[in-house]
Amino acid sequence: MPESNGRAVVVGGSIAGVSAVHALLSAGWEVVVLEKTTAPPTGSPTGAGLGLDPLSQSIIKSWLPRHQSDNNNNNNNNNILNTHTLPLTIDQNQATDAEKKISRVLTRDESFNFRAAYWSDLQNLLYNALPTDIFLWGHVFQSFRVSDDNKSVIVQSKVVQSGNVVEFAGDLLVAADGCLSSIRQVFLPDLKLRYSGYCAWRGVLDVSSDEKSNIYAGLQRVYQDLGKCLYFDLGSGTHSVFYELLNKKINWIWYINQPEPQLKGNSVTMKVSNDMIKKMQDEAEKTWVPEFVRVIKETKEPFLNVIYDCDPLHQIVWDRVVLIGDAAHPTTPHGLRSTNMSILDASVLGQCLTKSGVENLAMGLEEYQSIRVPVTSKQVLHSRKMGRIKQGLVLADAKVFDPKTATPEECRDLQQKYMPGFSGVP
């Protein structure tokens, strides 16, 4: 590891934050993380699924430790990642007829090369590869200021357990505090997230037990590439996402057009009632094949995300403050970009700071911004377009997409591989 080049304070210990820690340590920086949750993640697989693209896989492998028994063979940290994920080698879009309950393939890409993971499994993997004393749990970000001599940034946090307010000084503040970023709001107080026009019901069903084995068998009959395929299922004015996670767990998402709900608190996840869940399940029976409906009905505690993004930011660096992850580019989930952009943000930031050192910090941050903003801006807008296509919403430059009558040319933008910067991103 290089000699220490500086000290960074990272606000947010989610995947963007923990990725930033890996990248900054690799650049020789000291790091402290302020995270509002009161304890490190446990091994329990909670939350939703995600997909890692080939570049993110490569970056993560470079961060994971190599064991001596491996004799310096790179295959070992490949295996660490592989044991926490499942391959997604196929990207398939299909249309389901709500009346006949049959599906037909619209597009199929058999050279996809993603891997599927639980959010919490990936979080645990990255966190457990770091020194534990870097993280300060139960620290709620309060404010920051740049020192009078402009040589450091001072960050205040409130300790949940004691209620005390404490200060931390560093050369750099990394805002990894999500799409509702408090730090971003300091610089862009008028920025509003844009409601997409739809919400997403989500859930994960464990079908590994004997009593659920018939559900899994039924799914295999209908979804014959289960375990290696990312399924996008398009209905009339709606679509769903369906894929398997490690240990026979099924991750599903169903997007429903509706007016913007009124959210409470600092979260994009809604509290749902039993009546809301029952209504959703009844609608599923009218829309999807019975095998998928059964997965939805058997899922305990499905939750509802309100889907937002925002118009691309032109600036993500201010003096000694830098945005990464969803704080820098809130995006809709259709291009599987959020996690992958966060990991790449961190990696690029680390490489830029390795080159610049703390003595040329402004130059390093400017390079990071100049590399990431053009790419993420295009990806945010393309993901927005994909969502509107699949939900049958009006497009600025095209007619409403109808999966029943769509031509192969019209189906082109359904595929992940046409995301700008999908391969060869700097």
- For the chain (length 426 residues), average pLDDT per consecutive 10? 75 96 96 92 68 94 71 60 92 87 89 92 92 93 92 95 95 96 96 96 91 90 94 94 92 96 82 93 94 94 94 97 97 93 97 94 97 96 95 86 89 92 69
Q: At a CB cut-off of 8 Å and minimum separation 6, what does 423 contact?
A: 54, 55
Cα–Cα distance measured from residue 382 to residue 388, given in angstroms and rounded to the nearest whole number: 10
With contact defined as beta carbons under 8 Å apart, do 170 and 32 qualify? yes
Rounded-to-integer distance, Cα 169 and Cα 158, Å = 15
DSSP state of 312: P
104: its two tokens: 């037909």
pLDDT of residue 251: 94
CA 160 vs. chain centroid, Å, equals 27
CB 96 within 8 A of CB 282: no
Contact between residue 332 and residue 387 where contact means Cβ atoms under 8 Å apart: yes
pLDDT recorded at residue 69:
45
Q: What Rg value do the Cα atoms of the chain yield, rounded?
A: 22
The secondary structure element, H or E, covering residue 165 is strand 165-170
Residue type, 10: V
Looking at the DSSP assignment, which residues form a beta bridge with residue 231? 92, 242
Q: Pairing relation of β-strands 86-88 and 114-118?
A: antiparallel
Q: Tokens for 390? A: 């699949």
**pLDDT given for residue 137 in this prediction:** 94
Per-residue confidence (pLDDT) for residue 266, from 0 to 100: 74
- Enumerate residues 6+ apart whose C-beta is below 8 A from 196: 307, 308, 309, 332, 384, 387, 388
User: Residue 97 has what pLDDT?
Assistant: 81
Q: Which domains does the chain have, with CATH numbers?
A: 7-80+120-191+310-399 (3.50.50.60), 88-114+195-309 (3.30.9.60)
What residues are paired with 194 via a beta bridge?
Answer: 309
Contacts of 390-397 with CB under 8 Å at 24 or more apart are 390/232, 390/234, 390/239, 390/255, 390/334, 390/414, 391/197, 391/198, 391/237, 391/238, 391/239, 391/255, 391/257, 392/236, 392/237, 392/238, 392/257, 393/197, 393/198, 393/257
What pLDDT shows up at residue 1?
42
Q: Check if the beta carbon of residue 216 is closer than 8 Å to that of residue 295.
A: no
| Residue 84 vs residues 91, 247, 421: alpha-carbon distances, Å | 20, 10, 26
Q: Give me 291's structure tokens.
A: 């095998």
